[in-house]
Amino acid sequence: MSSTLTPLSRRRFVQALGAGTLAASAPGILRAQKGARVIVIGAGLSGLAAALVLQDAGVKVKVIEGRQRVGGRIMSIRSLPGNPEAGGTSFGPGYARLVNAAKTYNVGLVELTPVLRYYGTRELFLDGQHIPLNEWPDHPRNPFPTDARKTPPWRYIAGVTAKANPLKTTDAWVDPANAGLDISYYDWLKAQGQSDAIIDLAYNIEPTHGSSAHDVSALMMMQVASFIAAQRSLAVPGQSPFLTAAGGNQSIPEAMAGALNQEIEFGRNVESIRSENDLAEVHCADGTIYKADYVICSVPCPVLRRIHMEPLLTGAQARAVQTLDSQIINQAHMRAKTPFWEADGKAPNMFSDGLVCNLVGEHKGQTPAEVSSLTAWIRGHNAALLDQMPEADAKAAIIADIERLRPAAKGQLEIVEYKSWYRDPFSSGDWAVWQPGQIAGFANAVAQPNGRVHFCGEHTAVSNRGMEGAMESGERVALEVLNRT
C-alpha cells in the first residue's frame, strides 16, 4: 500500500508547516478520526509529536515505549548540577516546532549567551603536547593555508564546507538532481584542494558524522551546512542563537508526554509488527499484543532492523533499514573534586588527538563562570574501541587519557554517568549517518508506509536535522495517517 503523500509532496509539506500552525493551515486534511486507533512506537520527540497531532485531531492514540523513560535520544543527567545533556544538547530559535512545544507545554527556555564564550575556548593538544593557540599559526603541525593559519583545527572544516556548499535549500540533499554529490566527504574535500593532513586534523580526529571523512556522504555534510546556515538566518536579532530547556532538554518530551490523554506504556520492547488488510498488530517481548488501525514506528534503522516486519520491507526501503547506521558516540559525565584547570592554568576544554577528542567544561551552575561538571565526548574509531571494553575499563581509559594530558587532573575526576549510545539497544547509535551513495540509493524510500505501518524519526526528516528533524517527521507522519482514514 502506498502513501498518499509522495516524497516530493511530503517535502513541500514539511517545509511549509510548523507545529502550532498545523491545525489552522490544513483543515481539509485534519478530519476528526473518532474511531481510528493508532499505536505509536517510541516516546522520543518524533513519536510524541505524532501522537499529539493525532490526539488534537480526535484520534485515539497510545504511545508505547521500550525504556522506562520518555525522551529517547534526549537524556538530561539529573544527578549533576545544571542537568547536562547526554543526548540532544542545544537548539536555536529556528527550531520552530521544538520551541513551540516548549511554549505550549510550559517548559522554560534557557539562553546560552552568557556562557557561550566559555564553551568556545578550547586548549589544543596534539601528539600528547599542549600547543598554545598563539603558537598555532607557526606550529609545524599546522597544515592550513596561509589565510587560515590562525584557525584552530575544530573550526576549519565547517568553514570550508559552508563556503563551497552548492545546496541552496535545506531539503535539496534529497533532490535526485544532486545525486552526483553523494560521494565521500573525503573525495569532495580533496576536490576542494584540501590535503590529507588537513582532513585528518580537521575532521578525522573529531568526526561529527561517520568514523572519518571516508564513510560519510559529502551530500549529508552539505545538508548539515545548509541547516546550520538556515538556523543562523532564522536567529532572532538580540536573542541567543543557542537554547536549552529549563530542567534539561528532557523536560520538553516529558511535558509533551504529560499532555497525552492516554498514559504511555513503558517497558514494551517491540519485537514484531504485522500489517493486515484491516488492522495492524504490535508484539512486545513481554507478550503484550496491541491491535490498531495504524501503527507509527519511530525507532532508528539499526533498531528497526531487529524488529520483524510482516509483510517484509522490500527494495530500496529494505536496504535503507538494513544499512543506514547511526553515529557511534560515547560520553562520560564527570565531577571534578578540585578545579584542576585552575591548577594547570588552562581552560578545562580540550581538543585532542588522543582518546577523548573533546573535553567540555559545562557552565550550568549559579554563575556563568562556574564549571558545574565536565563532559568527555568520544567519537568514531575511539568510541568503537571503547565499546569493545567492559564499562569499568572504558571509564578507566577515559580518565587515564585526560590525566596523561593534564597531570593536574590526576585523582580529581569521578565519572558520574557513562553513556554509549551504540550499546544502548533502543538507539544503537546517535543521529543517522548517510554513507556515500546511500542518499541517492534510498533517502526518498526510507519513510514509505508498509501497509498500515508508517515511519517517523530523525532519520526520515527532510528539511531539518536533530531534534527539529524529529519533530518535523512526527508531524509529517501524523498527517500521513490522518490522510488515509
Ligand X SMILES: Cc1cc2nc3c(=O)[nH]c(=O)nc-3n(C[C@H](O)[C@H](O)[C@H](O)COP(=O)(O)OP(=O)(O)OC[C@H]3O[C@@H](n4cnc5c(N)ncnc54)[C@H](O)[C@@H]3O)c2cc1C
Does position 431 bind ligand X by CB under 6 A? yes
Contact map string, positions 241 to 280, toward ligand X, x by CB under 6 A: ---------------------------xxx----------
Q: Which stretch binds ligand X (CB under 6 A): 27-35, 116-124, 179-187, 465-473?
A: 465-473
Contact segment (CB under 6 A) with ligand X among 20-28, 131-139, 334-342, 463-471 equals: 463-471
> Does the footprint of ligand X cover residue 21 (CB under 6 A)?
no
Task: Round to the nearest angstrom and report the end-to-end CA distance of the chain.
Answer: 14
- State phi, psi for 125 to the nearest 5 degrees: -125, 120
Nearer to ligand X among residue 198 and residue 257 (C-beta): 257
Q: Please list, in sequence order, all residues whose beta carbon lies within 8 angstroms of the beta carbon of residue 25, skipping any fewer than 6 positions away.
A: 16, 17
* Separation of alpha carbons 271 and 17, rounded Å: 33
The Cα diameter of the chain in Å comes to 71
Residues 107-136 that bind ligand X (CB under 6 A): none
Residue among 294 and 431 whose Cβ is closer to ligand X: 431
Q: Does 466 bind ligand X (CB under 6 A)?
A: yes
The answer to whether the CB of 303 falls within 8 A of the CB of 428 is yes
Interface residue with ligand X, options 440, 467, 478, 482 (CB under 6 A) = 467
β-strand pairing of 294-297 with 37-41: parallel
Q: Closest distance between ligand X and the C-beta of residue 429, in Å?
A: 8
Place of cell 490523554: 261
Overall residue count recorded for the chain in this entry: 485
Binding-site member from 7, 18, 44, 441 for ligand X (CB under 6 A): 44
For residues 362 and 342, what is the distance between their CA atoms, to the nearest angstrom? 15
52-73 core/surface letters (b: 16 or more CB in 10 A; e: else): bbbbebebbbbbbbbbeebbbb
Among 18, 30, 38, 46, binds ligand X (CB under 6 A): 46
Query: Quick check: bond before 311 cis, omega within 30?
Result: yes
What is residue 202's DSSP assignment? I
Site for ligand X in 322-341 (CB under 6 A): 329
Q: In a 10 Å sphere around its CB, with 0-12 CB exposed, 13-18 middle and 19+ buried, how is residue 347 labelled?
A: middle
Among 5, 7, 62, 66, binds ligand X (CB under 6 A): 66
The interface region with ligand X, picked from 83-91, 258-266, 334-342, 367-375 by CB under 6 A, is 83-91
Task: By CB under 6 A, tell whether 43 contacts ligand X.
Answer: yes
Q: Is 87 in the site for ligand X (CB under 6 A)?
A: yes
477 binds ligand X (CB under 6 A): no
Minimum distance between the CB of residue 398 and ligand X, rounded to whole angstroms? 15
Cell numbers at 392, concatenated: 569499568
Residue 283 main-chain phi, psi, to 5 deg: -110, 130
Q: Which range touches ligand X (CB under 6 A), out of 23-31, 206-214, 359-367, 460-468? A: 460-468
Question: Considering only 40-48, 125-133, 343-351, 433-441, which stretch makes contact with ligand X by CB under 6 A?
Answer: 40-48
Kindly tell me which of 67 and 333 has the beta carbon lying closer to ligand X. 67
Q: Which residues lie below 8 Å from residue 156, measured CB to CB, with a gap of 6+? A: 144, 148, 198, 201, 202
Beta strands per DSSP E along 47-92: 60-64
Is 298 a binding residue for ligand X by CB under 6 A? The answer is: yes
CB of 92 to ligand X, least distance (A): 9
CA dihedral 160, 381, 403, 372 (to 10 degrees): 70
C-alpha cell at 185: 566527504
Residues near ligand X (CB under 6 A), total: 38
Stretch that binds ligand X, among 43-51, 145-153, 196-204, 395-403 (CB under 6 A): 43-51
426 binds ligand X (CB under 6 A): yes
Q: For ligand X, which residue of 33, 83, 420, 427 counts as binding (CB under 6 A)?
A: 427
Nearest Cα residue to 455 out of 275, 327, 258: 275
Query: 282: helix, coil or strand?
Result: strand
* Cβ-contact 369, 363 below 8 angstroms: yes
Minimum distance from residue 269 beta carbon to ligand X (Å): 5
Contacting residue, 61, 74, 350, 376, with ligand X by CB under 6 A: 74
Q: Which is nearer to ligand X, 183 or 384 (CB)?
A: 384
Q: Closest distance between ligand X and the C-beta of residue 330, in Å?
A: 9
Q: Identify which of residues 199 and 468 has a Cβ nearer to ligand X in the complex.
A: 468
67 lies in the binding site for ligand X (CB under 6 A): yes
Residue 289 buriedness (CB in 10 A; 0-12 / 13-18 / 19+): exposed
> 55, 76, 83, 90: which one contacts ligand X (CB under 6 A)?
90
Per CB under 6 A, does 206 bind ligand X?
no
List phi, psi (to 5°) of 199.
-65, -40
- Closest approach, Cβ 342 to ligand X, in A, equals 28
Binding of residue 386 to ligand X (CB under 6 A): no
Distance CA 260, CA 237 (A): 35
Q: How many C-beta neighbours within 10 Å does residue 191 have?
A: 11
- Residues forming contacts to ligand X in the complex (CB under 6 A) are 41-47, 65-67, 72-74, 87-91, 268-270, 298-300, 303, 307, 329, 421, 426-427, 430-431, 457-458, 466-468, 470
